[in-house]
Structure 1
Amino acid sequence: MYIINFSKLRVGDILLTRKHDRECELIRKSTKSDYSHAILYVGVGSGIESNGLGVQSINTARTIYKFPNDVQILRYNKSNFESIIEDVINFARQKIGTEYSTKEARLSRLEETIQAKETNRQFCTRFVAQSYKNAGIKVVPNPDYCSPKELIESDFFDLIDSCLEKGTKEQIDYANEKDNPISQQTDITNDIFEFARSISNTDIQTFEQLSKYVLENRTKEPEITEFIRNSGYLTMWKKDIKRNPWYYDYQKAIEHYKCSEERKGNGKFFSDTEEYTRHRFLVSLDAMKFGYSFYEQDFFKDQIELCEKLIELSKQREYVGNKLLSE
């Protein structure tokens, strides 16, 4: 059994994956591709994908693969990478929650230059191609409808060696855990958008669209805010502290990580990644403060407080990481 070694990945990489069930085999056959799915890697072990549950964030260490070539890396190969990558990732994050369209995915098998019929829906290859299109880079002839094969043949990507490695028992056990916080957050997010659609009669698919609706429909804001407060979305961070207290407390980290090598490795991870993690929270914080500046709605106030808390927790993890490294 194999898992992804995300130390081999770079932000912006496209992971082409395949599984060996009948549905994936049919997708590969119909698209004339060796792979059936695409994931955008956004850093710190996280990817964003569009699957049957919609666009969602995933922990790349939570999926097990059968063979060492079941994942291939496509890496952007142009010199303007640094100037475009933030726009690529921002688009991807803004689409989290967007529903999947099987009908649109099937149209990608047609060799036609057509525009998206359902513009507020995604499927895996459209999602990654549109993420690059948002940065002004047309990596395939038609970003609205494309296949894994077209991504592989794109002049904008190099095919990199597989990022899979044999999983240890601990890694396999972790991947198989039923208590998956990212999956739980996905479920909560989908519930929020479903509720918002039900009371607004509007095709709300993302937090960006929800924020716009709240600003334009102030009488609906209290009901939406109350639903979010009751959903658990604003307190998911408490579960991480309970689950991984050693991320936030140096003494507990010393007790948890038994050997110096393990302490150094985990310390380096948090020391290296938390600044990047905080950056996206800071971007969200600015957007929420801008929304709050109009009518001082509780919807935006709650989101501001959440962003500020997540930034504080990121600083705690970085502090513990730096302390472990300085031992």
Structure 2
Amino acid sequence: MKAIDYRRLQLGDILLTTSQGARSWSVRTGTKSDISHAMLYVANSSVIDSTSDGVHARNLQKVFYENDCAIYALRPIKPLTVEQRQTIIAYARSAIGTTYALREAVRSVTKPKGSGGVKQFCSRLVARAYAEAGIQLVDNPDFCTPEQLKGSPWLQELPSPAVEISAEEIAEIESRPNRADGMLQVTNAFLQQVRSFAPKVESINDALALLVSNQEFDDQVHAALKSSGYLDFWQRERQEFNWRYDLDAMKELASKEPNLLPDLKNYCLDSLRDIDNGDFDHWGRSLHAWRQKAQSSPLKSFLAMAQLHENLVEGVQLRRLVAESWLAK
């Protein structure tokens, strides 16, 4: 088996992969390609892609491939500016929760012209994200395939990011909770409730934007945010890895398991690098936006989203403080 070494990637990189499933086989056959899926690298070990579950973030550390599965990493030949990279990733994040456009994905093989709908599929999501930043990777970002992304004249292929991984390593990784899957579940649970009274809602952004002109739905949206677990999901990370946020807890962990000392040092170094690289800056920008919305329209849903992002930003600050303090000692 093999995995993707995310440490070789930069924000905004494109990953093209395949699997041994029936849908993957049909895509590869229809496009005469060895790949069937596209993903956008957006943060430390995190990608955003579009599957039958919708558009969601996934943790590369928990994704494994058979040895004969193709894996490519692509990067723009002309380096992205900071603004372009932020725009690309912001577009992908804005689509979180959007449902899968199966029929339009199938049609893409015939290279149709014209515009597509609001729903997404993997290569459309990536191509549209780049188009949002003014980079036309393919002739028609609304209808394209992973193979067309692979052949884009704007992209260069990187050295393979694939690394071998043992069955023992996979078993150890899979024994840990998968917070990306958990976030997928609470997001879809929230959107399912909202779509029961607002069927046209696709993404998380749509659900909250609905309130700008339909404030009468505030109670229902707020209830969906609470009952789905969307507002409280961040607490699972704090509970599972409390030592990331509490120096005394990190000291206690190290005293109980001194063999973890090298891992803790690497964690601290990696965390500071990721924070300095801006992997979590989107939470600060979102906090500013939700505070502004709450000031102009003090709806319960807007206030709850502002509080959620205050908690997320505080978590990043605590992680920096703990990592710096640990390395200093």
TM class by shorter-chain length?
over 0.9
Q: Secondary structure at the match of 2:72?
A: strand
Q: Which residue is 1:266 aligned to?
A: 267
Q: Which residue is 2:159 aligned to?
A: 161
Cα deviation for residue 288 of structure 1 reads: 1.0
- Indicate if the aligned counterparts of 1:12 and 1:89 stay in contact, CA closer than 8 A: yes
Q: Which residue is 1:298 aligned to?
A: 300
- Indicate if the aligned counterparts of 1:274 and 1:317 stay in contact, CA closer than 8 A: no
Distance 1:80 1:183, change over 3 A: closer
For residues 180 and 94 of structure 2, the distance between their equivalents in structure 1, rounded to whole angstroms, comes to 17
Cα deviation for residue 100 of structure 1 reads: 0.2
Q: Which residue is 1:137 aligned to?
A: 135
- Indicate if the aligned counterparts of 1:2 and 1:68 stay in contact, CA closer than 8 A: no
Unaligned runs of 5+ in 2: none
Distance 1:185 1:132, change over 3 A: same
Distance 1:115 1:287, change over 3 A: same
Distance 1:178 1:248, change over 3 A: closer
The answer to whether the aligner puts 1:233 opposite 2:230 as a matched pair is yes
Q: Secondary structure at the match of 1:99?
A: coil
Mapping of residues 1-327 of structure 1, within 5 Å: 1-67=1-67, 70-116=70-116, 119-168=117-166, 171-177=169-175, 179-200=177-198, 202-257=199-254, 258-259=258-259, 260-275=261-276, 276-327=278-329
Cα deviation for residue 153 of structure 1 reads: 1.1
- Indicate if the aligned counterparts of 2:101 and 2:121 stay in contact, CA closer than 8 A: yes
Tell me which amino acid in the other structure corresponds to 1:139.
L
For residues 296 and 82 of structure 2, the distance between their equivalents in structure 1, rounded to whole angstroms, comes to 34
TM-score under structure 2 normalisation? 0.93
| 1:81-129 superposed Cα distances (whole Å, 9 cap, x missing partner) | 333111000000000000001101001100332321xx21000000000
For residues 314 and 168 of structure 1, the distance between their equivalents in structure 2, rounded to whole angstroms, comes to 32
Q: Which is worse superposed, 258-267 or 297-306?
A: 258-267
Tell me which amino acid in the other structure corresponds to 1:252.
A
Distance 1:181 1:88, change over 3 A: same
For residues 5 and 293 of structure 2, the distance between their equivalents in structure 1, rounded to whole angstroms, comes to 39
- Indicate if the aligned counterparts of 2:194 and 2:220 stay in contact, CA closer than 8 A: no
Q: CA RMSD in A?
A: 1.7
| 1:16-42 superposed Cα distances (whole Å, 9 cap, x missing partner) | 011123321221010122100000000
Q: Secondary structure at the match of 2:39?
A: strand
TM-score under structure 1 normalisation? 0.94
Distance 1:174 1:126, change over 3 A: farther
Tell me which amino acid in the other structure corresponds to 1:240.
E
Tell me which amino acid in the other structure corresponds to 1:228.
L
Cα deviation for residue 323 of structure 1 reads: 2.2
| 1:131-177 superposed Cα distances (whole Å, 9 cap, x missing partner) | 00011111111101111111111111111121121225564125434
Q: Percent identity?
A: 27
Q: Which is worse superposed, 20-29 or 131-140?
A: 20-29
For residues 91 and 169 of structure 1, the distance between their equivalents in structure 2, rounded to whole angstroms, comes to 36
- Indicate if the aligned counterparts of 1:254 and 1:263 stay in contact, CA closer than 8 A: no
Tell me which amino acid in the other structure corresponds to 2:283.
F
- Indicate if the aligned counterparts of 1:33 and 1:147 stay in contact, CA closer than 8 A: no
For residues 233 and 326 of structure 1, the distance between their equivalents in structure 2, rounded to whole angstroms, comes to 36
For residues 175 and 113 of structure 1, the distance between their equivalents in structure 2, rounded to whole angstroms, comes to 44
Distance 1:174 1:300, change over 3 A: farther
Cα deviation for residue 80 of structure 1 reads: 4.3
For residues 212 and 204 of structure 1, the distance between their equivalents in structure 2, rounded to whole angstroms, comes to 9
- Indicate if the aligned counterparts of 1:68 and 1:165 stay in contact, CA closer than 8 A: no
Unaligned runs of 5+ in 1: none
Q: Secondary structure at the match of 1:287?
A: helix
For residues 12 and 191 of structure 1, the distance between their equivalents in structure 2, rounded to whole angstroms, comes to 28
